[in-house]
Amino acid sequence: MQNNENPQSEQNAQPNQPATEPEAINEVSPPGAPPQMELEKKLKDAEQKYIYLYADFENYKKRAI
């Protein structure tokens, strides 16, 4: 019976993963937005992440010394 339980748990886990991905895609930009606007938003998000990462690293260096 353990063999039957394991495939069921794997099957239940797999459908959950694709369900969350489209939600994240829709949050990036409204549907029907021009590709240029979508790319600009992604660029701004990447720049923000870079700035925060850089600031965190600078703080780490100050604390490590």
Q: Are 28 and 38 in contact (CB under 8 A)?
A: yes
Rounded mean pLDDT of 13-41?
63
Please compute the mean of the pLDDT values over residues 19-46 and round it to a whole number.
Answer: 73
User: Over 60: is that where the pLDDT of 51 sits?
Assistant: yes
Note the pLDDT of residue 10.
Answer: 43
Domain boundaries, the chain: 2-64
* Element counts in the chain: helices (H) and strands (E): 2, 0
